[in-house]
Amino acid sequence: MASLPILQLGHPNLRLRAREVLMDELLGDELQHFIDDLIETMHAASGAGLAASQVDRQVRICAIEVKDNPRYPYKPNIPLTVLVNPILEPLGCDRFDNYEGCLSVPNLRGLVKRHAELRLTAWDRHGKPIERVIRGITAGTFQHEVDHLDGLLFIDRVEDTRSLATWDQWKAHHEAAFVETVRNVVQRYGS
């Protein structure tokens, strides 16, 4: 396994729409090794998720895992999940304010509105169908990663640019209020 370089804001390839993966291709050694590298890279960078687009591979694959994450200590845990060709469909109109950061956007966080409940349809890394409902803060994390596969970054969805903050300033001035939001969202949606 290898840790791959992560593209940074301004690299044009972060803005491409990634293509769908075929089943034969997914089950081949090359893409399976790539998925191992994607997970390794996410772990090495302490990310809550990483999309193939961020390591300059334009295929619709992303990895998500939250396990007592030092970058996001308030996030509910999510077991390691690899999504291939994911589709997210909002259920209802509920949205919440999510303070996001990104491994491709160094030292910046901003408030983004995310759907609180979605239906997820995807394959896992072995091509097994996944269909389930995801909710709350966890749903925010999934939306952030799937956005990457469409060439979108969280900053594109920031409605009030006055919410933008460096990580130090965020910790000093915004963390406490956001942790309260997280508590309410988790209470309401269970994750």
Give catalytic residues, as residue numbers. 145
Tell me which stretch binds Ni ion (CB under 5 A): 68-76, 95-103, 155-163, 170-178.
Answer: 95-103
Give the C-alpha separation, 19 to 173, whole Å. 40
Q: Is 142 exposed, middle or buried (0-12, 13-18, 19+ CB in 10 A)?
A: buried
Tell me which stretch binds Ni ion (CB under 5 A): 97-105, 113-121, 124-132, 182-190.
Answer: 97-105
Give the C-alpha separation, 140 to 75, whole Å. 10
Angle between helical axes of 175-189 and 136-149 (0-180°, round to 10): 100
Residue whose C-alpha is closest to residue 99's, from 49, 55, 160, 44: 160
Nearest residue by C-beta to Ni ion?
A: 102
Tell the smallest beta-carbon distance from residue 118 to Ni ion (Å).
17
Q: Which of 18, 59, 82, 102 binds Ni ion (CB under 5 A)?
A: 102
Tell the smallest beta-carbon distance from residue 39 to Ni ion (Å).
15
DSSP output for 147-158: HHHTT--GGGGB
Q: Is 64 in the site for Ni ion (CB under 5 A)?
A: no
Nearer residue to Ni ion within complex by CB, 131 or 143:
143
Tell me which stretch binds Ni ion (CB under 5 A): 7-15, 59-67, 94-102, 160-168.
Answer: 94-102
Residue ranges binding Ni ion (CB under 5 A): 102
